[in-house]
Amino acid sequence: MPELPEVEVVRAGLEPAAAGATVNRVEVLETRSLRRHQGPSEDFIARLTGATFATPERRGKFLWLPTGDDALIIHLGMSGQVLLRDRDAPRDRLTRIVLDVTHPEAGPLRIDFVDQRIFGSMALDELVPAVDEPAQRIPSQVAHIARDPLDPLFDDRRFLTALAKKDTTIKRALLDQTLISGIGNIYADEALWAARVHYDQPTRSLSRPRATTLLAEVRLVLVKALAEGGTSFDYQYVNVNGNSGYFSQSLNAYGQTGLPCPRCGRPIVRESFMNRGSHFCAHCQKVRAAR
């Protein structure tokens, strides 16, 4: 599933063409792609037609385009893509929703929502004040999502305090989008490897200095992945121009089962975790007693 870097790459790519663009026409080819919209496709089409987009925004893995009091929420799911196209360009056979828009500078464009597995979605939702910053408005469907570590308003102290009170293990905490958002399996494994923390380390036994180091490594891996366009293992994860990211070439732990740990040379191992896998170095990353 796309994580913070992949979604931010899409948001940044959309910004020049979407901010200030007016929606001229909406076509829904797959109603299942509106599963999070509260109403039928006719309501989605009627409310979105004629709307003008403000600057695209993001929190964690959620992306949205404000349209006044509402916003168009885009969730990429497992395989969703948002592609910018010329109006007369051929459509991908897996296109689910099409928006014909006109930008004051770029002119007529097409925004295609393409989704192979149909786990992603688009929806119109009302904007509400953010709990921790009422001047900022976010979609109501995103209100429960915590800020991500690249958000300027992310509170390190609040996060570290909440983490210490959690009765869970560290990777489960990193994947808890109500505690810290934008981190999925790939970047959790990479940050834990960089910080030398075992994925099953109890959060209450993690010292404040080690937790602080881990948070710093989370930021570093997200920033690096963002600079490299995100992680693409196949054609499903692309930017708005259809290009893949190349952070997969920089991975130290995730997907590296059996390969030597870049730090100690021992093999990276994989263990089952929450219906997926955790990749780590059993030598460098050990569960430690509380200190």
Residues 93, 97: Cα–Cα separation, whole Å: 11
Q: Are 281 and 263 in contact (CB under 8 A)?
A: yes
Q: 3 an active-site residue?
A: yes
Q: Which of 2, 66, 139, 149 is catalytic?
A: 2
| Distances from the Cα of 199 to the Cα of 80, 148, 215, angstroms | 28, 20, 14
227: how many CB neighbours lie within 10 A of its CB?
12
Q: Which of 58, 59, 61, 110 is catalytic?
A: 61
Helices (H), the chain: 4-18, 41-48, 156-165, 170-174, 185-195, 208-227
Q: Which of 9, 128, 110 shows the shortest CA–CA distance to 66? A: 128
Residues 8, 245: Cα–Cα separation, whole Å: 12
Q: 108 an active-site residue?
A: no
Q: Which of 3, 6, 8, 57 is catalytic?
A: 3
42, burial (CB in 10 Å: exposed 0-12, middle 13-18, buried 19+): exposed
Question: At residue 69, what is the residue type?
Answer: D
Residue reference for tokens 């909440």:
162
Residues with a known catalytic role: 2-3, 61, 276
